[in-house]
Structure 1
Amino acid sequence: MKPMKLLLITMLALSVQLVSAQSKYEWKQATSGGYTYKYVTNDPMKARFYTLKNGLTVVLSVNKKEPRVAVRIPVRAGSNTDPKDHTGLAHYLEHLLFKGTDKYGSLDWAKEKPLLDKIDGLYEQYNSTKDEAKRKEIYKEIDRVSGEAAKFAIANEYDKMMAAMGAQGTNAHTWVEETVYEEDVPSNAIDKFLDVQAERFRNPVLRIFHTELEAVYEEKNRSLDEDGWKMQDASHYYLFPTHNYGQQTTIGTIEHLKNPSLNAIRDYYYKYYVPNNMAIVMAGDIDPDKLIKQIDDRFSYMKSKPVQEYNPAPEKPLAGPIIKDIYGPSAESMQLCYRVGASDSKEALMAVLVSSILSNGKAGLFDLNLNKQQKVLRSGAGVRQYKDYGVFSISAAPKQGQTLEEVKDLLMEQISILKKGDFDESLIKAIVANYKLFELQGLENNANRVESITDAFIKNKGTKWINDVEQLDAMGRISKKDVVAFANQFFADNYVVLYKRKGEDKNVVKVEKPTITPVETNATKQSPFVKAINDKPLSAVKPLWLDFDKDIQKGKAGNAEILYVPNKENSLFRMYYYFDMGSWNSKQLSLALQYLQFIGTDKYSAEQISKEFYNLACSFSASAGTETTTLSLSGLNENFEKAVKLFEELVRTCKPDEAALEGLKNRLVRTRANNKLNKNAIMSALRSYGSYGALNPFNYTLTNDEIKNLKAADLVNILHSIFSFEHKVIYYGPKTLPELTASLKTNHQLPATWTAAPAPVKFERTIQKENSVLFADYDMVQSEIYWVRNLEQYDPKKEAVTSVFNNYFGGGMGAIVFQTIRESKALAYSTFAALQTPGKKEDKFAFIAYVGSQADKFHEAINGMNELINDLPEAEQTFENAKKSLLKDYETERITKDAIVFNYLAGKRKGVDHDIRKDIYTQASAITFNDLKKLHDTELSRKPYTYAVVASEKKVTMDDLKKYGAVKKVSLEELFGY
């Protein structure tokens, strides 16, 4: 399923029907390597659009920065095209495309197929039966026959193949009008990769279905625990009373989840998974002429057939505001939503521009008038654009003592300002300049390229890519008059208001757990197809290790060390002032750096400073970690001097502002209260408590009284003095080192000697001597369980075996934990385990494991993980894949740009003066399974653990918890320190 977040559509990914392309941007046709393709002139991605004879779209973009290739295989089908009586079907199918075909995923297809056919029939019988007693009997038979069929199935062969060839990010998602399969593979493995993908889509077999169905149940229940999901679903439901955007959810209804049809899923596959409805999008280290022939050879077996597009009746305009309350345990917030026109409409372009005028993170109306002035806790705006319509969403949260209705009024005031045209027209030019900056940054990343092209394919098969490429120029031609006219037409009484209120959601009905007998995964077995793929030789890719003496140039600015890496690719710079001190040295430091964004100088107000940086297409940030602090600047190199001067002036001459501090205090109080309503924050606090005890890094924070007594002058003094503490200057950009040194000499004045930093507080990890349970109560359907155990002190020589162990045991879909907990036993949608490597030589290794399961599977989930922790299963092929995957990751990884410096600094904190990856790579080849078993037996097996559990007391009782150790119910005050 697609991640739940507001997708701010990037400017390269939104198709807009505009004026005809000017000569700068034109569709051209070319022939190379025997294949004809189309391209758009001046496309920064230089994307080639091919259409093969069977209708399959192939889009290729070359980027040879590293020997890897990002891949997306999109299908233009999602919850929109689910049958009305089988919602969630496209999402089911996405899960099942990982289960194999008649050639892989099976030990004996001839013996497996009759059993799968029988399961098909049983599900049809189950779906048509209304009597609950009979349904239970049928499901019992489904469970029995599924167990028999699983004896011939090999779980996760797809994931194992991908891991063995060095793939990263193996995943997929389903959304309203798309199902997209995602990979990132080494460039030398493309031939293998295409073999696997061609087979994957040839004849997918819907095996191991009932355990995967349980995983989808878990996913549904997790969504019921997420208030954000409920808000998103509600916004769609009310904005689209006719269209399937609002009337069919991606996961589907509970009723349909309980009554799946394998026949319906198979019919859906044959209907929509056809070449003229699919694409292969690849960006990275490729030879397009060679690659297009390889793709054609592999996928020519696919046959084109007509696809009936989803063609809904137009939505009627909303007759008036729709106001709804949404209840749940998390903090209060609100959304104000408007319906946007189709992706190829002028309205879609205008909506994106207007959303940036309201909120761009720096100089929008919300940014300056609400966020900077701290009139709300937070606010923002963005557009989620689909093919037929989009959603213009404004979100905000109240500060302390503020109602949601008052927040809504403040948002409406800003919309009124927009409609009156009370904003500087230069803001439009600044927005376009910053989008061009984002575009330049985005081109460095292959994933950004394939995501943008995939989005265009879903909306219009890429036929309007020319408009995607030219739209920044088109946006630059939009005038303030155009914006005001649009705003007055667009923002009427045609919106949906959703108030997320704290309270019990009485409408939540969880998907009940069916009885499932664990199935055989045959983890140690291998099909002939997979063996052939794995045995297929690969050309060598030589790893490139960092040589810090050569890759980093060093200089001095006063008594500050400069760590310099040149940017020879574009006109962007990034510079950091890096301090070896943080919040453990001073609790007030982090707050002072937050305060910086709300205050000004004698010359500039805080709002003016934001405008100045945005107009320069530059930005600054300042944040304190626990042991390090970073103040950073980035943007266009042509504005480097102006940006540095402005930032230095702000830090050195900022003025105390008591009103701004009172606003910050108010927001802090509300944020801290909201954290206590956030289950993820509660779990983070509980894990920290389990690792360090009652006084730990998570709750080492200012008390409420300390916040109340803060003085603006104290925080400003911290800011004024920060450059007197020892720090390094890290730079990546086009300037030469002498040019940078000269600039810093003028613009970054430093003292002759450094001021000594306050001594940091030290936290000692606890030693688990007996099992114990830490529990926090939260109103939720699921139960969240972590295992916590601290191990021995860091030793760089143990990093290699730790890395291999993580790949083998708990680090992915092909690892032991996932295969057992999810694939075999269907106990969780999400599960993992890992040995954690500390960030500094004084710290210790640690182990964490996680299962997020339905509360009624609490004991089964714990017992399932404990079995793996106590007795390490041996699976030879999984072990070999774990090593291969690690080696290929290092062979194809290229650490470049400022990441070189941060890698160097991370090594120094561990006491390592060279690229430790080389050591890990060299040692990993010689690691045996016995090495993993020794590590497992010595550090993990039958050892005491702290169980950190977040669940509802109504579903998990104290008696349940006591089975695993002495129980301590930890209060929120103990967890958060306030």
Structure 2
Amino acid sequence: MKYTTRSTAILLLMLGFLFSFSGVQAQYLEEFEEKVTEFTLDNGLHFIIIERHDAPVASFYTHVNVGGVNEPVGNTGIAHIFEHMAFKGTHYIGTTNWEEEKVAIDNMDQAYQNWLRESYKTDPDSALMEQYWDEFQKYQEESKQYVVNNEFSQIIQQNGGTGLNASTGADFTNYFYSLPSNRAELWFNLEADRFKNPTYREFYVEKEVVREERNMRTESNPIGRLIEEFLAVAYTAHPYGRPVVGWNSDITATTIADAKDFYEKFYVPSNITIGIAGDVDPDQMKEFAEMYFGDLREGEPAPIVTTKEPEQRGERRFTIEGNSQPIMLIGYHGVAESHEDFEALNLLGNIISNGRTSRLYKKLVEEDQLALQVGAFNGFPGSKYSSMFLTLAVPNMNVELDTLEQSIYTEIESVKEGVLTQEELDRARTNIRAGIIRGLNNNTGLASNFASTHNNQGDWREVFLRLDRINEVTLEDLQRVAREYLTKDNRTVGATVRAES
């Protein structure tokens, strides 16, 4: 492998120009394309290779086009649970005897299913439930004796790997880490093996880990509780209204059989994009891809979300009583990132709330001292489908939520009247451009942004073409989208208030 800093210098120079001037994106995109190689295997698995030869390392990012929005009713949280399974090894890694371990796992899941079915009956037999639970625990203990803990991650660490992690969102699940570039074949071997041969090892142990995550993020977190309730109220039909971490009862209800069905439907090659950025040879990457991923089962195309959220018929309001600091969340139904108004709403959120120069911060925090914290953002909980434009505010001591709420509406109404300036719009553009370039200043950022953009929008080039759309937004557009989307009938308002003693 030849190591040179020339390509990196070109890349940095190009990005500098790209984010400094409007109207030149196409020129520098063409230049950038020289560093990108794409190919799709016969089974539908797509690869994007970005060459950066400044250091002998590479980052690997697997983007699966499945998240909380795709989960079946009764199995919320299953995308996150399956994400945990991908770190448990394979038929060859993480076990002392896979054949015997598999028998114990199958018996364990059958016993759990028996216990679950009995527990759901109108008049469950407690003796029978105890019998099934004892069987479940017996097989769970039996399966544990074959487990070699953390062997998958240890192999990566021993070979110089860093940043091993994964995440699950409403629209996606991703897996990523970096390795020395001369260990690229190791990545192909491990990544293909864990997705071709999922084992569901320690499945019920990891379910409890996920449940504990839910407890930390939601049950014990005032903002988490408010957001979960908010989404459930704001969405009546679309699965964006369900929590990615899962409802507690659904975590209990999910079995290995459910996870296998989820895997079969969604972890198909045509639903996966892999990004690789760093000191790699594209021809060699294609050779490895065909060698290790070529026999990954093609499967049927993954099911798509067809439910559309109906138009809201009027303002929705709710409160949660608790002992925490009062918090308010105001949200408006917006659009998906593929919609022509998405960037205008992004810029509007940035102008209203991003940093100390934003309108809401200056007015509510500094001048009137009504709020300790205030912020607005677009594209929640995901952006593949019509999403929400949110404003979150925490009142100052002795400030009523009603007072704070009306002050927020006053600022929004002023936007509708055309109060925004070109200086504010230009500053918001600069902020968003800076965010984009921060996401592209390392191998992991390049691999993740290119792969996720390809999966969500059909082409990694949209990372750069987005800048044209940002530059095309005018002050009139900001005023128009504020009038169109930030309306009372389209609004959901939720608050955490102190419980009355």
TM exceeding 0.5: yes
Instruction: Work out which of the residue numbers 322, 328, 337 in structure 1 matches 2:331.
Output: 337
Shift in CA distance, 362/284, structure 1 to aligned 2, threshold 3 Å: farther
1:152 corresponds in structure 2 to 146
Offset at residue 392 of structure 1 (A) = 1.0
1:895-934 pair list within 5 angstroms: none
Instruction: Work out which of the residue numbers 62, 76, 80 in structure 2 matches 1:91.
Output: 80
CA shift digits 1:273-309 (9 cap, x unpaired): 1111112112233333322322232111113232243
| Partner Cα separation in structure 1 for residue 286 and residue 318 of structure 2 | 51
1:805 corresponds in structure 2 to none
Computing the radius of gyration from Cα coordinates, the structure with the larger value is 1
2:391 corresponds in structure 1 to 394
Shift in CA distance, 235/59, structure 1 to aligned 2, threshold 3 Å: farther
Quick one: which amino acid aligns to residue 214 of structure 1?
Answer: E
Quick one: which amino acid aligns to residue 482 of structure 2?
Answer: A
Instruction: Work out which of the residue numbers 326, 332, 351 in structure 1 matches 2:320.
Output: 326
Offset at residue 42 of structure 1 (A) = 5.2
For structure 2, the residue ranges without an aligned partner over 5 or more in a row are 1-22
Offset at residue 56 of structure 1 (A) = 0.6
Tell me if the contact between 1:348 and 1:390 (Cα under 8 Å) persists in the aligned partners.
no
Tell me if the contact between 1:77 and 1:177 (Cα under 8 Å) persists in the aligned partners.
yes
Instruction: Work out which of the residue numbers 107, 111, 114 in structure 2 matches 1:118.
Output: 107
1:929 corresponds in structure 2 to none
1:285-324 pair list within 5 angstroms: 285-324=279-318
Offset at residue 495 of structure 1 (A) = 1.0
1:792-807 pair list within 5 angstroms: none
312-321 vs 447-456, which deviates more?
A: 447-456
Instruction: Work out which of the residue numbers 26, 38, 46 in structure 2 matches 1:49.
Output: 38
Shift in CA distance, 227/50, structure 1 to aligned 2, threshold 3 Å: farther
1:199-598 pair list within 5 angstroms: 199-222=193-216, 223-246=218-241, 248-373=242-367, 374-384=369-379, 385-460=382-457, 463-493=458-488, 494-503=490-499
Tell me if the contact between 2:333 and 2:485 (Cα under 8 Å) persists in the aligned partners.
no
| Partner Cα separation in structure 2 for residue 158 and residue 60 of structure 1 | 24
Offset at residue 46 of structure 1 (A) = 5.0
| Partner Cα separation in structure 2 for residue 242 and residue 75 of structure 1 | 24
| Partner Cα separation in structure 2 for residue 60 and residue 51 of structure 1 | 11
SS at match of 2:341: helix
| Partner Cα separation in structure 1 for residue 406 and residue 324 of structure 2 | 22
CA shift digits 1:505-542 (9 cap, x unpaired): 9xxxxxxxxxxxxxxxxxxxxxxxxxxxxxxxxxxxxx
Greater RCO (CA < 8 Å, at least 6 residues apart): 2
Offset at residue 23 of structure 1 (A) = 9.2
Tell me if the contact between 2:371 and 2:393 (Cα under 8 Å) persists in the aligned partners.
yes
Shift in CA distance, 468/390, structure 1 to aligned 2, threshold 3 Å: farther
Offset at residue 458 of structure 1 (A) = 4.3
Residues 1:101 and 2:90 are matched in the alignment: yes
CA shift digits 1:553-608 (9 cap, x unpaired): xxxxxxxxxxxxxxxxxxxxxxxxxxxxxxxxxxxxxxxxxxxxxxxxxxxxxxxx
Offset at residue 421 of structure 1 (A) = 0.8
2:52 corresponds in structure 1 to 63
Quick one: which amino acid aligns to residue 322 of structure 1?
Answer: R
RMSD value over aligned CA atoms?
2.5
SS at match of 1:201: helix
Residues 1:129 and 2:118 are matched in the alignment: yes
Shift in CA distance, 52/329, structure 1 to aligned 2, threshold 3 Å: farther
Offset at residue 234 of structure 1 (A) = 2.0
Quick one: which amino acid aligns to residue 402 of structure 1?
Answer: V
| Partner Cα separation in structure 2 for residue 264 and residue 156 of structure 1 | 24
Larger helix percent: 2
CA shift digits 1:924-970 (9 cap, x unpaired): xxxxxxxxxxxxxxxxxxxxxxxxxxxxxxxxxxxxxxxxxxxxxxx
Quick one: which amino acid aligns to residue 219 of structure 2?
Answer: L
Shift in CA distance, 46/339, structure 1 to aligned 2, threshold 3 Å: farther
| Partner Cα separation in structure 2 for residue 408 and residue 47 of structure 1 | 48
Tell me if the contact between 2:336 and 2:384 (Cα under 8 Å) persists in the aligned partners.
yes
SS at match of 1:258: helix
Tell me if the contact between 2:329 and 2:495 (Cα under 8 Å) persists in the aligned partners.
yes
1:25 corresponds in structure 2 to 26
Quick one: which amino acid aligns to residue 184 of structure 2?
Answer: I
Shift in CA distance, 328/310, structure 1 to aligned 2, threshold 3 Å: farther
| Partner Cα separation in structure 1 for residue 33 and residue 277 of structure 2 | 13
Tell me if the contact between 2:453 and 2:462 (Cα under 8 Å) persists in the aligned partners.
no
Tell me if the contact between 2:271 and 2:302 (Cα under 8 Å) persists in the aligned partners.
no
Quick one: which amino acid aligns to residue 238 of structure 2?
Answer: H
Quick one: which amino acid aligns to residue 126 of structure 1?
Answer: W
Tell me if the contact between 1:235 and 1:496 (Cα under 8 Å) persists in the aligned partners.
yes
Shift in CA distance, 64/375, structure 1 to aligned 2, threshold 3 Å: farther
| Partner Cα separation in structure 2 for residue 327 and residue 453 of structure 1 | 43
Tell me if the contact between 1:123 and 1:260 (Cα under 8 Å) persists in the aligned partners.
no
Shift in CA distance, 282/228, structure 1 to aligned 2, threshold 3 Å: farther
SS at match of 2:430: helix
* Paired positions, count: 469
Offset at residue 351 of structure 1 (A) = 1.0
Instruction: Work out which of the residue numbers 145, 166, 172 in structure 1 matches 2:166.
Output: 172
| Partner Cα separation in structure 2 for residue 411 and residue 481 of structure 1 | 21
| Partner Cα separation in structure 1 for residue 37 and residue 327 of structure 2 | 44
| Partner Cα separation in structure 1 for residue 377 and residue 37 of structure 2 | 30
| Partner Cα separation in structure 2 for residue 257 and residue 215 of structure 1 | 10
SS at match of 1:183: strand
2:184 corresponds in structure 1 to 190
| Partner Cα separation in structure 2 for residue 47 and residue 118 of structure 1 | 48
Quick one: which amino acid aligns to residue 407 of structure 2?
Answer: L
| Partner Cα separation in structure 2 for residue 153 and residue 289 of structure 1 | 37
493-502 vs 424-433, which deviates more?
A: 424-433
Tell me if the contact between 1:386 and 1:459 (Cα under 8 Å) persists in the aligned partners.
no
Instruction: Work out which of the residue numbers 71, 74, 79 in structure 2 matches 1:82.
Output: 71
Offset at residue 452 of structure 1 (A) = 2.2
Shift in CA distance, 235/185, structure 1 to aligned 2, threshold 3 Å: farther
1:534-683 pair list within 5 angstroms: none
Shift in CA distance, 361/64, structure 1 to aligned 2, threshold 3 Å: farther
Quick one: which amino acid aligns to residue 500 of structure 1?
Answer: T
TM-score by length of 2: 0.87
SS at match of 1:166: coil
Offset at residue 362 of structure 1 (A) = 4.1
SS at match of 2:453: helix
| Identical residues among aligned pairs (%) | 24
Shift in CA distance, 45/394, structure 1 to aligned 2, threshold 3 Å: farther
| Partner Cα separation in structure 2 for residue 470 and residue 497 of structure 1 | 35
| Partner Cα separation in structure 1 for residue 78 and residue 240 of structure 2 | 15
Tell me if the contact between 1:73 and 1:279 (Cα under 8 Å) persists in the aligned partners.
yes
For structure 1, the residue ranges without an aligned partner over 5 or more in a row are 1-21, 27-38, 506-978
CA shift digits 1:318-357 (9 cap, x unpaired): 2222111123343222111111112210121211011112
Shift in CA distance, 380/256, structure 1 to aligned 2, threshold 3 Å: closer
Quick one: which amino acid aligns to residue 495 of structure 2?
Answer: Y
| Partner Cα separation in structure 2 for residue 228 and residue 446 of structure 1 | 33
1:685 corresponds in structure 2 to none
